[in-house]
């Protein structure tokens, strides 16, 4: 069971997120309050696995709260959940220790996947934030193996490389099928085989894997 704490100064949104996450059988929820001070205090009280943190809040903003949480409780994963996608907010959040950065228009099923991914140690970035992730990974020198070496070692075919690129770009199975001249069902099967080959669980993990290993 993954314990998730939600921190947001908009009470209605916070309650909605808590209700939405609670519908998943593998998730339990904690109301983390509406500001950074409450967030830090509630981490000590409840020891959540994952914290969903708004950035702009009274008393103490999300960035400072995140810095303190990561310093005091490094095992807790913190996902920024905000409306802001500007480069400065993203990079500053990364610098403060964010384990991911997602925007509030995320779909419910994607939010659950993001929580699970963060819990299992993945860096989770939503939408256009992936481009900033690419930059940050290059800056930190976190690539473990060159893209060419990875493709050769795992036996990834040229077609699969194309598919991975489209998944990174957020294309659906139908869009990939139309672009490559296959049926949607065929692409779905190929994506499933690719997940098995890479030992991954979902499309989001494929995107993170591709960027982490500099495939694109």
Structure tokens given for 115: 């929580």
Cα–Cα distance measured from residue 175 to residue 152, given in angstroms and rounded to the nearest whole number: 27
**pLDDT attached to residue 135:** 61
**pLDDT attached to residue 138:** 56
Where does residue 123 rank: exposed (0-12), middle (13-18), buried (19+ CB within 10 A)? buried
Nearest to 40 by CA among 59, 25, 24, 21: 59
**pLDDT attached to residue 48:** 97
Cα–Cα distance measured from residue 93 to residue 70, given in angstroms and rounded to the nearest whole number: 12
Residue 148 in contact with residue 202, Cβ under 8 Å?
A: no
Cα–Cα distance measured from residue 87 to residue 131, given in angstroms and rounded to the nearest whole number: 10
What is the tally of helices (H) and strands (E) in the chain? 11, 6
Q: Using alpha carbons, list the distances in angstroms from residue 175 to 105, 157, 172, 182.
A: 21, 19, 5, 10
Cα–Cα distance measured from residue 35 to residue 8, given in angstroms and rounded to the nearest whole number: 7
Nearest to 174 by CA among 165, 163, 183, 164: 183
Per DSSP bridges, beta strands 124-125 and 50-53 are unpaired
**12: number of Cβ within 10 Å:** 8
**pLDDT attached to residue 141:** 47
Structural domains of the chain sorted by starting position, each given as residue range(s) with its CATH number in brackets:
2-140 (3.40.50.2300), 147-212 (1.10.10.10)
DSSP assigned state of 128: T
Q: pLDDT tens string for the chain (216 positions)?
A: 999 999 999 999 999 999 999 999 999 999 999 999 999 999 999 999 999 999 999 889 999 999 999 999 999 999 999 888 777 788 788 788 889 899 888 888 889 999 998 998 887 887 667 666 566 555 544 444 455 666 777 788 889 988 988 888 878 899 999 999 999 999 999 999 999 888 888 887 888 778 767 666
* Exposure string for 24-33, b = 16+ CB within 10 A, e = fewer: beebbbbbbb
């Amino acid at each position: 069971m993954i314990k998730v704490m939600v921190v947001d100064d908009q009470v209605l949104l916070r309650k909605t997120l808590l209700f939405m996450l609670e519908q998943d059988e593998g998730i339990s929820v904690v109301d983390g309050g509406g500001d950074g001070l409450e967030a830090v205090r509630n981490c000590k009280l409840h020891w959540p696995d994952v914290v969903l943190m708004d950035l702009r809040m009274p008393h103490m903003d999300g960035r400072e709260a995140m810095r303190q949480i990561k310093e005091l409780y490094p095992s807790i994963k913190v996902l920024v959940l905000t409306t802001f996608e500007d480069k400065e907010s993203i990079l500053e959040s990364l610098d403060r220790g964010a384990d991911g950065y997602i925007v509030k228009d995320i779909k419910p099923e994607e939010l659950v996947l993001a929580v699970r991914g963060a819990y299992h140690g993945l860096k989770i970035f939503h939408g256009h934030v992936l481009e900033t992730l690419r930059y940050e990974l290059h800056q930190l020198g976190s690539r473990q193996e060159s893209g060419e070496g990875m493709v050769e070692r795992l036996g990834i075919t040229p077609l699969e490389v194309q598919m991975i690129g489209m998944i990174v770009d957020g294309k659906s199975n139908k869009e990939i099928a139309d672009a490559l001249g296959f049926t949607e069902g065929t692409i779905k099967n190929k994506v499933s085989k690719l997940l098995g080959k890479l030992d991954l669980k979902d499309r989001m993990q494929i995107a993170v894997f591709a960027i982490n290993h500099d495939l694109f």
